[in-house]
Amino acid sequence: MSADVFLFWFLAILTLAGGLTTVLVTNPIYSALALAFAMIGVSALFVTLNAYFLAGVQLIVYAGAVTVLFVMVLMMFDLKHEITAFTRGKFTGLVKSGTVALLAGILVGAIAMTSDLFLKISGTPEVALGGGDGTKELGKILFSKYIFGFEALGILLLIVAIGAVALARSKGGTHAKQ
Amino acid sequence: MTQQTLMAILILSPLVGFLINGVRYKKHSAEVAGAIATGAAVISFISALIMVIDLVGMPAEERRITVQFFDWITIEKLKISAGFTLDQISAIMVLVVTGVGSLIHLFSIGYMRHDKGVAKYFSYLNLFLFNMLLLVLGDNLLVMFVGWEGVGLCSYLLIGFWFTDKEKAAAGMKAFITNRVGDAAFLLGMFVLFLTFGTLNFQEINHMVPLTSELMWMAPITLGTLFLFIGATGKSAQIPLYVWLPDAMAGPTPVSALIHAATMVTAGVYMIIRLNPLFMMAPNTMMVIAIIGGLTAVLAATIGMTQWDIKKVLAYSTVSQLGYMFLACGVGAFGAALFHLMTHAFFKALMFLGSGSVIHAMHEEQDIRKMGGLKKHLPYTHATFFVGWLAIIGAPLLSGFFSKDEILWQSFHSPRGHVLFWIMGVLGAVMTAFYMTRLMALTFWGKSRVSKDVHPHESPMIMLIPLIVLAILSAVGGWIGIPHIISEILPGQPGNILETWLEPLIKAVPGTEAGEPSQEWALMATSVTLAAISAFVAFHFYVKDPAKPKKVAESLGKVYEVVYNKYFVDEAYFGWIINPLVKLSKGIWYYVDVNFIDKTTYVVADLVRGGGQFVRGMQNGNIQQYAMYIGLGVVAMMTYVLMR
Amino acid sequence: MGHDIFEVSINAIKLIVVFLIIVQAVPFLVWLERRGSAFIQNRLGPNRIGPLGLMQLAADAVKFFFKEEFVPASAVKLLYYAAPVVALIPATLAFAAIPLGQPVQWNEYTFRLQGYEINVGIVFVLAVSSLAPYAILLAGWGSGNKYALMGALRASAQVISYELALGLSIVGMIMLYGTFNLSEMVLAQQAPLSYSFLGANWTAPSWLPAWGIFYQPLGAIVFFAASFAESNRLPFDLAEGEAELVAGFHVEYGGFKMLLFFIGEYGHMIVASALMVLFYFGGYTIPGISMADLNQWAAEHAPGANAASLTVGLLTLLCFFVKLALFIWLFIQVRWTLPRFRYDQLMDLGWKTMLPWALFNTILTAALVYVAHL
Amino acid sequence: MPSSDFLQQVGLPHYLILSAILFVAGMAGVLLRRNAMVILMSVELMLNAVNLSFVAFSHYLGQMDGQVMVFFVMTIAAAEVSVGLAILVSIFKRFKEINIRFFEHLKG
């Protein structure tokens, strides 16, 4: 078992633990922290995939900003353990779980059906990225081929910022009456 | 200035006038509006004159100014450009349209001064001029068709100008709808021609025409020309679609002069002349045209003899003169047709304007039974009208004489012609002389039957000037087309200017041999003498002993009734065409629309509502359920992708 | 990492040393801070124990070790214990990525004076330091105390909002030098200062190094201020504003856990100063002397190549630490001279002043770079 | 029990399976949890899973496009979270309630 294989399994287990905890734990703060854990794990996995820059961005955006926001908001809310953390209705619960199970089965089936193909691919590690981290290539392609999407995202972010501010200022949403 | 700018000015200046007058038309006073409109007309007349002078300057073979402004429609095979061409034919037509148009604008200033919507009137007039120019100058059938429709629209607007009066509005609608019938045929003709030649451009069509004979395209050409001719009957008031023109007299008199005598109604003739090589290839169509033309000439003349409304008389006279032109086209004398078109434009416009002046003087009184002896009241009007009368009845050396004589001679002499056509023509001429003399007599001569409370007065100068100019024109206008036999005896043998001018575009009918001068002299003498006699008879009837006509009418009895009621053509149309149509469409409305289509749509609507009710149940606001639907959708899609 | 046992062991030792630098610097810095504040305030400060009171460090350390292990009743145990450890992580990780000196060439081995070389070092440093709020939040929530919670919320909000300005102010440098790599950035700053714009060149006197501050003054200012806020120090230490919240998020902490928090805070300080040095003050390069000359000189005077590169490495290391010390002293100086902001002032400064200026700097740099590359 | 070389050689399928499991876990959270905050977190988890698979593909196919996609996904995720949290905060301020079922009453 060479180093990188070990690294992969280690990180995979870590990330999975984080993700599952996020979903299963009843205290939202714990699940937020677990989510942060999972995020860090994912970014580490990015590193194992030579996507150093993305790993950093992943840390900054998700672990550094998004999840911190979650934690802060939760702390402001100060929620106790929920009495009914999970959906109560028997039937709908069953149906939903069934859906999840179906999706899982389908996904695994898909991967299994095509795994030999993937194994063929995985025989050839990346060449276009020129070995080291492809930060420069990423920048080039981002600003040439995907420039339109990039601009659109910029606009999206602006709108979102404005909307968030507006929501935060409005006293309790649409039902405000004082 | 380049030809392009000149052409643009020529065509667009009436449009500009229309826009200026049309915007805020309530604000302009009669003088301002009239000045603007007349100015626009005059400007385009001047530019037309300049261009025609250039045209004369050119060598005879390539006398053609073609201006392509832009590509209008380009669908892969159909390429139509907003192109305009000025050649020998359109040159004459443009001069007539803009010149007579300007005069009539001038006249209208005086005539319409006391009307409220005067600016609206002038804007319509300018719009008409613009469309007429499109029609005349367009170098392909589609541009011509645009103008064709446009003049129809303007004629509708102007006939129904006093739309508060129900009958006048109805007259406008009648004109419009009757024209529609013709326009549909015109469109069909265009389609056929496009299918046959793959183009709508006049030059190209006329160039292709010689090839058609060996390509065996006779059938489509005959069909297309027939359709086009039906369109022409619509626009130019021929049997069977002439009924709208007499009612069109509901409009203001200058409008009748401009649209329903001088320019628009001759559009059909112009179109046929424009495509003369094509029609030349379709002898059957030509025969039909000749017959229809001759019949119309006679029929309208008979009706004209019995009418009491001054403008109605003139209207029927117009119809019969148009009949002459079609007769000429039918026998292949396109040059003669164009010639008569021009002269007729002069003297008919003159007479309409004169009648307008009379009506003006009589305070909107149009019944000639209530006139008479106006000679002393309005001398200038009478003088000019007199010239017009001489011209139309074909008194020698006046314009009408030359053109009409040309037509008669051709209808007898041309290989496509026949003695019957000549007889029709002569009949028409005789009757024309009769009713025109009757009109003159009842209106100007004899003793006055004017009611006491009306005080006729001479019209202002601004109305007389056009009359005088037109009178001069209708006196001398015919001298550009003096037939050879006369020009030979004249000093210096001027020859037939018009013929030489049109020569490159209008070829004589194949197989025309040189005419026998003595024969021609004989025919001319016959027609003139007959016309003179009938004129004298009419004079005797209506001036010497006015009791006579009544006796004659009674002696004729039924016949007179029928003729007086215009052969009951309108009633026939109503009884056999219009009412059944109305019934049919009512039935369709009730049984198809209400009982079938609406019902089905209701059923569909109910289905949709039911479905919505059902779906609404799923939409219970439980977001997680929505997410579940999404998940199921994903599962379905993936299963499909995997199983595929 | 390494290929044979020697290199591996050296690298391992290197890592430990880097960690120890952070940890051991703290008591010294505490002493420095106390003495410095004393001088600033016309006091003597701790001067009893040992020469210059330097033994005070040991005393503090001993005190920290032997304090009572105390956990408030309402605390959430796990988080309460986890917080100090987490607080240690970002500073140390970030510091480990900072090149402290020129790599030492020892026979066929190359030892970087740096925890580990990362190609996207800047991103890494930012990313790691963006994890800082967790420690604070954990502490605040874990110790079940409303003051602590408020302090934590404030602190984390502050840190998040200043991260933006921080990151944006560096973007200018990144665009200028076109690299994410810290070492490359350092080496790019050694050349003598010269501006060249649209063909026009202006070269400064050779003793003036091509430091980033000469290219990015605005960025430098914004970065400096933002790094103060990042490390929760005065004038931005609202997290522990004694006046309103007793001591902020570490009210309930004492003893060694407190020490760990200190380490984290001072580590932040060190990292911030180190980054300042790296980005804007030429890193470990010695002003006025280009690396080439230095290597030349060392090769002439030292016996053997190894010794030469070793000397150069040590010299550069020394130079780096000198610069670092200057900046740390600046931190202390500022702390004891400036008053504390009000919270709304803080937020206004962060969002309405520094963020726009950083954006402006970025756009300006982008425009200039674009024009220059035309 | 997976075969030993499945354990030995880490390839694309491993990453894919990992991301699939993460995705499904996130989906379960979205469908089954009641706390709106947790649902948002689960959405984040799903997005991360997708990111992982993107990066894995781009690594093993040697193309950058996948990473660009990850970039976009991150941006959109950030936007979504900020708006979602703002909404939650304003609703919580007003109703002291973030149970997802409660939101059904916010109709109209």
Taking the Cβ of residue B623 and every Cβ of chain D, the question of whether any pair is shorter than 8 Å is answered with yes
- Answer whether C120 sits within 8 Å of A135, measured CB to CB: yes
What is the identity of the amino acid at A55?
A
- The model's confidence at residue A177, banded by pLDDT at 50, 70 and 90, is very low
ipTM over 0.90: no
* pLDDT mean over B336-365: 89
Torsion angle (degrees, nearest 10) of CA B204, B205, B208, B212: 170
- Domain membership of residue D5 (yes or no) is no
- The C-alpha of B621 sits at a distance from chain D's nearest C-alpha, in angstroms, of 5
Beta bridge partners of B32: none
D1 within a domain of the structure (yes/no): no
Chain D residue closest to B624 (CA)? Answer: D31
Test D24 with A107 for CB contact under 8 angstroms: yes
8 Å CB contact of D52 and A107: no
Domains in chain D, number: 1
The mean pLDDT of C288-302, rounded to a whole number, is: 81
Cβ within 8 Å, pair C120-A75 = no
- Which amino acid type is present at position C18? V
Question: Residue B62: pLDDT band by 50, 70, 90 thresholds?
Answer: confident
Residue carrying the six token digits 């480990």: C96
Of the pLDDT bands very low, low, confident and very high (cuts 50, 70, 90), residue C349 is confident
Pairing of strands C200-203, C194-197: antiparallel
**CB-based contact, B631 to chain A, within 8 Å:** yes
Mean pLDDT of A53-79: 84
Task: Look at B623 and D103 and tell me if their CB atoms are within 8 Å.
Answer: yes
Give the whole-angstrom CA distance, residue C316 versus residue B104: 104
Q: Check whether A174 has a pLDDT greater than 70.
A: no
Query: Nearest CB to B639: which of A87, A100, A106?
Result: A106
The arithmetic mean of pLDDT across residues A121-142, rounded, is 63
- Quote the pLDDT of residue A176: 43
Q: DSSP letters along B364-431, please?
A: S--BGGG---TTTT-HHHHHHHHHHHHHHTT-TTSHHHHHHHHHHHHHHHSTT--HHHHHHHHHHHHH
Q: What is the largest CA-CA distance in chain A?
A: 66
Across the interface, do C128 and A59 touch by the CB < 8 Å criterion? Answer: yes
CA distance B121 to B158: 7
Task: Label residue D78 exposed, middle or buried (CB < 10 Å: 0-12, 13-18, 19+).
Answer: buried
Q: What is the mean pLDDT of residues C246-266?
A: 81
Contact: B624, A100; criterion CB under 8 Å: no
- Which of B299-308, C92-101, C112-121, C344-353 bottoms out in mean pLDDT, i.e. has the lowest? C112-121
Give the range among A129-133, B389-393, C215-219 with minimum mean pLDDT: A129-133
Rounded to an integer, the average pLDDT of A140-145 is: 86
Q: What domain range is D60 assigned to? A: 10-106
Summarised one tens digit per residue, pLDDT across range C11-38 is: 888 888 888 888 888 888 888 888 888 8
Of B300, B335, B340, the closest CA to residue B318 belongs to B300
SS3 B460: coil
- Please, do chains C and D touch (3+ CB pairs < 8 Å)? no
**Coil, strand or helix at B492:** coil
CB-facing half-sphere around the CA of D78: CA atoms within 13 A:
22
Examine residue D78 and state whether it is found in any structural domain, yes or no: yes
Q: Is A151 on the interface with D (CB under 8 A)?
A: no
Q: Stretch D61-81: mean pLDDT, rounded?
A: 87
3-state secondary structure of C47: coil
Q: How far is CA B583 from the centre of its chain?
A: 32
Label residue C21 left, alpha or beta by phi (over 0 means left) and psi (-120 to 50 means alpha): alpha
B635 at the D interface (CB within 8 A)?
no
Q: What is the pLDDT of residues C116-137, one digit of tens each?
A: 778 788 888 888 888 888 888 8
Measure C162 CA to nearest chain A CA, in Å.
Answer: 12
Computed on alpha carbons and rounded to an integer, the radius of gyration of chain D in Å comes to 18
Q: Answer yes or no: are the C-beta atoms of B44 and B10 closer than 8 Å.
A: yes
Residue D29 falls within a domain, yes or no? yes
Pair of tokens at residue C191: 């050349």
- Cα-Cα-Cα-Cα dihedral sign, residues A51, A57, A59, A63: negative
What residues 105-164 of chain A have any CB closer than 8 A to a CB of chain B?
Answer: 106-107, 109-110, 113
Distance of CA B136 to CAs B230, B233, B266, Å? 19, 17, 11
Distance from CA of A107 to the nearest CA of C (A): 32
Identify the residue among B624, B625, B630, B632 best suited for mutation to test binding to D, counting D beta carbons within 10 A and taking the highest: B624
| B159 touches B122 (CB < 8 A) | no
Has residue D15 been placed in a domain?
yes
Q: Lowest mean pLDDT of A74-78, B30-34, B297-301, B591-595, name the range.
A: A74-78
pLDDT at D1 over 80: no
Distance from CA of C27 to the nearest CA of A (A): 29
Whether A19 sits inside 8 A of D34 (CB atoms) is no
- Is A110's CB within 8 Å of B628's CB? no
User: Percentage helix, strand, coil, to 5, in chain C?
Assistant: 70, 5, 25
Is residue D98 within 8 Å of D35, Cβ to Cβ?
A: yes
**What Cα–Cα distance (Å) separates residue B122 from each residue in B18, B115, B348?**
7, 11, 21
Provide the residue count of chain A: 178
Kindly state whether residue D3 falls inside one of the protein's structural domains: no
Q: Is the pLDDT of residue B160 over 60?
A: yes
What pLDDT does residue A143 have?
86
Least Cα separation, residue A54 to chain D (angstroms): 7
End-to-end Cα spacing for chain C: 41
Distance (Å, whole) CA C228 – CA C334: 9
Is residue D62 included in any domain, yes or no?
yes
Query: B230, B109 in Cβ contact below 8 A?
Result: no
* CA end-to-end distance (rounded Å), chain D: 54
Quote the CA–CA distance of A54 and D71 in Å, as a whole number: 8
Mean pLDDT over B408-435 rounds to: 88
**Which residues have C-beta within 8 Å of that of residue B485, sequence separation ≥ 6?**
B517, B520, B521
Contact criterion met (CB < 8 Å) for B624 and A96: yes
A113 touches chain D (CB under 8 A): no
pLDDT on residue A88:
62
Query: Nearest C-alpha of chain B: how many angstroms from A81?
Result: 21
Residue B488 tokens, joined: 């030979």
For tokens 């056999």, name the residue. Answer: B576
Indicate if the pLDDT at residue A122 is higher than 80.
no
Contacts of residue B86, Cβ cutoff 8 Å, sequence gap at least 6: B7, B51, B52, B55, B64, B65, B66, B94, B137
Residue B285 and residue B192: Cα distance in Å, rounded? 15
Q: How many CB pairs under 8 A join B and D?
A: 19
pLDDT in tens, A90-100: 777 777 778 78
> CA angle B440-B529-B324, nearest 5°?
70
| Cβ pair B628:A95 closer than 8 A | yes
Q: How many CB atoms within 10 Å of residue B373?
A: 16
Looking at the predicted structure, is the pLDDT value of residue C179 above 60?
yes
Which sign does the torsion angle of CA D34, D36, D38, D44 carry?
positive
Q: Is the pTM of this model over 0.80?
A: no
Q: How far off is chain B from A110, nearest CA to CA, in Å?
A: 7
- From the list C307, C254, C262, the residue with the least C-alpha distance to C145 is C254
Percent with pLDDT over 90 in chain C:
2
- Contacts of D among chains (3+ CB pairs under 8 A): A, B
Contacts of C91 (CB under 8 A, 6+ apart): C22, C129, C263, C264, C266, C267, C268, C270, C271
B-chain CB neighbours of A95 within 8 Å are 628
Q: Which residue has the tokens 């380049």?
A: B2
Chain D positions touching B623 (Cβ under 8 A) are 100, 103
Residues of D in contact with A8 (CB under 8 A): 10, 14
Inform me whether the pLDDT recorded for C241 exceeds 70. Answer: no
What's the rounded Cα separation, in Å, for the pair B319 and B316? 5
Q: Is the pLDDT of residue A175 over 50?
A: no
ω into residue B240 within 30 of 0, thus cis? yes
Integer Cα distance of C157 and C239 in angstroms: 10
Amino acid type, C300: E
Point out the residue among A39, A124, A160 whose CB comes nearest to the CB of D83: A160
pLDDT given at position A130: 46
Å between D6 CA and nearest CA of chain A: 10
Tokens read off for D53? 């698979």
Give CA separation, B84 vs B58, B68, B441, B515, C177, in Å. 18, 6, 46, 37, 67
Inter-residue contact D34 to D100 (CB < 8 Å): yes
Interface residue of A23, A96, A111 to substitute, partner B, most B CBs within 10 Å? A96
More confident residue, C171 or B504: C171
Q: What CATH number corresponds to the domain at position D15? A: 1.10.287.3510
**Is it the case that chain C and chain B have 3 or more CB pairs lying under 8 Å apart?**
no
Q: Which two tokens stand for residue B85?
A: 């061409």
Nearest CA in chain C to A63: C131
Q: Which of A103, A106, A108, A117 to mutate to test the interface with B (most CBs of B within 10 A)?
A: A106
Q: Which two tokens stand for residue D66?
A: 């996948």
- Alpha carbon of C92: minimum distance to chain A alpha carbons (Å): 16
CA distance A128 to B262: 83
Which of B542-551, B602-611, C268-277 is least confident? Answer: B542-551
Q: What is the DSSP string of C64-102?
A: HHHS-----TT--HHHHHHHHHHHHHHHHHHHHTS--EE
In a domain, residue D4? The reply is no
User: CB–CB of D27 and A103 under 8 A?
Assistant: yes
Q: Sign of the CA dihedral B631, B633, B636, B639?
A: negative
* Stretch among B439-443, C140-144, D100-104 having the lowest mean pLDDT: D100-104
Burial class (CB in 10 A: 0-12, 13-18, 19+), A117: exposed
Task: Using CB atoms, list chains with 3+ pairs below 8 Å to chain A.
Answer: B, C, D
Whether B628 has its CB under 8 Å from any CB of chain D: the answer is: yes
CA distance C327 to C228: 11
What is the pairing mode between strands B78-87 and B64-75?
antiparallel
Q: Which residue among D22, D51, D83 sits closest to A163, beta carbon to beta carbon?
A: D83
**What's the rounded mean pLDDT across residues B447-456?**
80
